[in-house]
Amino acid sequence: MNMPNINDARKRTNNIIPIKRDDFIIPEEVKNIGKNKNYCILTYGCQMNVHDSENISAIIEEMGYNKIDNMDNANVIILNTCAIRENAHNKVMGMLGRIKHLKEKNPDIITAFCGCMAQEVGIANKLKDKYPWVDIVMGTHNFHKLPIYLKNTISTNKQQLEVYSKEGDVIECLPVKRDSKYKAWVNIMYGCDKFCTYCIVPYTRGKQRSRLPDDIINEVKELVKNNYKEVTLLGQNVNAYGKDLNINYNMANLLEDVALTNIPRIRFVTSHPWDFTSDMIDIIAKYDNIMPYIHLPLQSGSTKILNKMGRRYTKEEYIKLFKEIKNKIPNCSITTDIIVGFPGETKKDFKDTIDIVNELKFDLAYTFIYSPREGTPASIMKDNVSVEEKKERLATLNELINKYANLNNQKYKDKIVQVLIEGQSEKGNMLMGYTDTMKLVNIKAPEKYIGKIVNVKITDIKTWSMDGVIIDD
């Protein structure tokens, strides 16, 4: 048993990060234990978790397990959790209740709990003391040891709880089973060193560790060979890529080298405004295969609140960066994240947020009510804004965000755009895909177009999507 520790989680040293190329093993005796058995994986949270689940799926399938979507018939149920806000927590705890019910009927079901929630001291203690029937609890640094934990669970029938609070390493040998045949997530870095005062990520994911450029570029070249059309370069703060490598190679260099692989579409998330350089903007503008779409979290329009959040930029600096991007890449769509109700946010601070939204007119924004996370500096800041007031501010903000989302989409009416067709739309009888600017388009077209980038004429505009028709292949 190895419990997480918040003091170890926040430690940062100058130690060299080990790159492990042979750390993944499936013990001989469990290689086929999943034959004729099913697993189900439920993923919560960000793209990083989605991609981790692709690794976990590949690992468990190498043991013979078959993936199913319905947990009622699963022999192994894996919960890949998110700790970013309280409501993500609540969803997972609710799901544990449902799994307990299934396990009462079939005690052979194995439950594995992983992801950022497992890294939290309070949650790990709760799982140990109150949920002993959760068979495996593993953290973000060691999910690749799932085969060993499964083996131990089966042989001892005791809870396997192993969570490390450490800076972390880079593991290059993990298998991956990608959800899509056309779009791939590619990690370029792990962890985060920004320590925004509200955020749990630096504690759950460890220190910033960039992958070596060659490892990333070779992965993208392999995807090109396999006919992938799009990669999304993943990291909590991709603009800081390379800072920890000390090899004089940064995100602008990486974007250029990935562009030169000729993969048709390149995206990247998430960008921290602080590390966004003019060189990066120039490279995005230079290469047609780097998509004109940037997710640029603002968090607040008040410089006072940004300062309390530890974001290290002012409202004016954010506006300047936004305008530089729009000047150099005029068709670029820019989306953002905004938190309302941060401790000490006055009506005037909130008005600053409203003003900046009115000025910049984001294509879209993901908006959140501040949620205190145990162990973070903001969680002990004096918070005198009532819950009702926070909800009202969120509703006011959302109304404005929706208005600009719709107005930005209106510009596409009757225009011809390129769309990568990904698959069936949630709307019956339609296919769906995204424009280069990340606008969702639903199209009535035959399935033969799935996996292709096609020219589409936009015929109808909604707030969250558009409809279109294919005008050629």
Among 196, 296, 385, 456, binds ligand SF4 (CB under 6 A): 196
389 and 443 Cβ atoms separated by less than 8 Å: no
> Smaller CB distance to ligand SAM: residue 4 or 191?
191
Which one of 75, 208, 239, 299 is in contact with ligand SAM (CB under 6 A)?
299
Distance CA 403, CA 357 (A): 11
Give yes or no for residue 192 binding ligand SF4 (CB under 6 A): yes
CA dist., res. 389 & res. 272, Å (int): 28
Query: Which listed residue (89, 145, 272, 390) binds ligand SF4 by CB under 6 A?
Result: 272
Distance of CA 213 to the CA centre of its chain: 21
Q: Is 387 helix (H, G, I), strand (E, B) or coil?
A: helix
Residue partners of 304: CB distance under 8 A and separation at least 6? 344, 349
Token pair for 62? 């190498």
Say which DSSP state 379 is in.
G
Stretch that binds ligand SAM, among 20-28, 98-106, 327-335, 369-377 (CB under 6 A): 369-377
The entry of ligand SAM, ligand SF4, none that residue 353 binds, CB within 5 to 8 Å by partner kind = none
Q: Does 85 bind ligand SAM (CB under 6 A)?
A: yes
Q: For residue 418, give the 3-state DSSP assignment.
A: strand
Q: In this structure, what token pair is assigned to residue 81?
A: 């959790």
Sign of CA dihedral 347, 312, 336, 180: negative
Assess 371 for contact with ligand SAM (CB under 6 A). Answer: yes
Burial of 276 (0-12, 13-18, 19+ CB in 10 A): buried
The residue written with tokens 């959040």 in the block is 309
267 interacts with ligand SAM by CB under 6 A:
no
Q: Which amino acid would we find at residue 158?
A: K
Indicate the residue among 231 and 234 with the shorter CB distance to ligand SAM: 234
Residue 267 interacting partner from ligand SAM, ligand SF4, none (CB closer than 5 to 8 Å by kind): none
| Nearer residue to ligand SAM within complex by CB, 26 or 238 | 238
Tokens matching residue 413: 């009416």
Q: Which is nearer to ligand SAM, 59 or 199 (CB)?
A: 199
Burial of 347 (0-12, 13-18, 19+ CB in 10 A): exposed
202 contacts which partner out of ligand SF4, ligand SAM, none, CB within 5 to 8 A by kind? Answer: ligand SF4
> What are the residues facing 334 on neighbouring strands?
294
Mask 197-216, x = binds ligand SAM (CB under 6 A)?
Answer: -xx-x---------------
Query: Should residue 89 be labelled a site residue for ligand SAM when binding is judged by CB under 6 A?
Result: no
Q: Which residues pair with 354 in a beta bridge?
A: none
Q: Phi and psi dihedrals of 464, rounded to 5?
A: -105, -5
Q: Which stretch binds ligand SAM (CB under 6 A): 53-61, 166-174, 194-202, 321-329?
A: 194-202
Report if residue 164 touches ligand SAM, rule: CB under 6 A.
Answer: no
Applying CB under 6 A, the span of 71-79, 133-141, 208-216, 367-375 interacting with ligand SAM comes to 367-375
According to CB under 6 A, which residues from 236 to 255 bind ligand SF4? 236-237
Is 34 exposed, middle or buried (CB count within 10 Å of its CB: 0-12, 13-18, 19+)?
A: buried
Residue 80, interface with ligand SAM (CB under 6 A)? no
Cα–Cα distance for residue pair 269/404, rounded to 1 Å: 22
370 binds, among ligand SF4, ligand SAM, none (CB under 5 to 8 A by kind): ligand SAM
435 binds, among ligand SAM, ligand SF4, none (CB under 5 to 8 A by kind): none
Tokens describing residue 375: 């162990």
CB-nearer residue toward ligand SAM: 182 or 293: 293
For residues 224 and 189, the answer to whether their CB atoms sit within 8 Å is: no
Q: 85 touches which of ligand SAM, ligand SF4, none (CB within 5 to 8 A by kind)?
A: ligand SAM
Number of residues that bind ligand SAM (CB under 6 A): 18
Q: Which residues bind ligand SF4 (CB under 6 A)?
A: 192, 194-196, 199, 201-202, 236-237, 272
Binding site residues, ligand SAM, CB under 6 A = 46, 84-85, 198-199, 201, 236-237, 270, 272, 297, 299, 337, 339, 368, 370-371, 373
